[in-house]
């Protein structure tokens, strides 16, 4: 299995962690991240204001979110073109537990298929709808509601092709779109616990800056209403 690490070469604060991931992940290579502020890198991608799919997304996409989305699409495209069955796709603020990663990848090897998308999240927040396999406390599961963040995942070739076809135009962040399995046609599985950690705070902070503080209550209400609609469409 190859690994693709999304990293912007100009991000010197994150370089050391990206180089550590080159050692920690199987057959790893760096994939240059898309700069969402550079119009030339966005050519050919239609970006909408949360109105492509239902429920509508209540916030405008920001340049860093566009860049992250297109960076993942770049990795999906590389996987499809490689002909490999799977690739591990990671963001450069990931830190792994070698034992946890080895056990998780063993579950993927035993139970994964090229049409699967399997998250290895840093937060244990998803409620299992169905457990497919176990290794002691570690579970490969189909969560009822798909969690946020795309810091680490194993993506099958057929899943990558399906997601590329579903995202010729975008209107919300990539992790938010992935929650919409009824739009993408792509079920999303999860392996928890897995030992992964996020180290953004130790290497310069998130590349997706916090939203302005003004109107915070309004945003929280909109976010809660949006999430409530996701709970009405669980994976089964």
Domain that holds residue 182: 2-231
| Separation CA 154–CA 195 (nearest Å) | 15
Residue 48 falls within a domain, yes or no? Answer: yes
Whole-model pTM: value is: 0.95
In a domain, 236, yes or no: no
Position 219 scores a pLDDT of 92
* Among 47, 52, 64, 41, CA closest to 200: 64
33 part of a folded domain? yes
| Rounded Cα distance, 202 and 43, in Å | 33
CATH code of residue 157: 3.90.550
Q: How many CB atoms lie within 10 A of CB 195?
A: 17
The domain total for the chain is 1
pLDDT in tens, the chain (236 residues): 999 999 999 999 999 999 999 999 999 999 999 999 999 999 989 999 999 999 999 999 999 999 999 999 999 999 999 999 999 999 999 999 999 999 999 999 999 999 999 999 999 999 888 999 999 999 999 999 999 999 999 999 999 999 999 999 999 999 999 999 999 999 999 999 999 999 999 987 766 655 555 588 999 999 999 999 999 999 99
């Amino acid at each position: 299995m190859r690994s693709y690490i999304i990293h912007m070469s100009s991000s010197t604060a994150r370089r050391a962690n990206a180089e550590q991931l080159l050692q920690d992940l199987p057959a790893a290579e760096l994939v240059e991240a898309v700069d969402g502020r550079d119009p030339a890198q966005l050519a050919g991608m239609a970006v909408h204001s949360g109105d492509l799919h239902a429920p509508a997304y209540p916030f405008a996409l920001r340049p860093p979110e566009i860049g992250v989305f297109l960076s993942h699409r770049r990795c999906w495209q590389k996987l499809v073109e490689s002909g490999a069955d799977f690739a591990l796709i990671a963001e450069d603020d990931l830190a792994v537990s070698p034992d946890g990663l080895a056990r998780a990848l063993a579950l993927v090897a035993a139970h994964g298929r090229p049409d699967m998308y399997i998250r290895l999240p840093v937060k244990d927040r998803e409620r299992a709808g169905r457990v497919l396999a176990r290794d002691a406390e570690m579970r490969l599961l189909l969560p009822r509601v798909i969690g946020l963040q795309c810091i680490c995942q194993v993506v099958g070739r057929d899943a990558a092709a399906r997601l590329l076809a579903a995202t010729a135009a975008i209107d919300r962040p990539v992790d938010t779109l992935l929650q919409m399995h009824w739009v993408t046609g792509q079920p999303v599985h999860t392996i928890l616990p897995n030992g992964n950690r996020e180290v953004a705070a130790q290497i310069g902070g998130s590349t997706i800056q916090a939203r302005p503080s003004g109107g915070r209550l309004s945003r929280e209400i909109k976010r809660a209403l949006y999430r409530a609609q996701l709970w009405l469409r669980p994976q089964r």
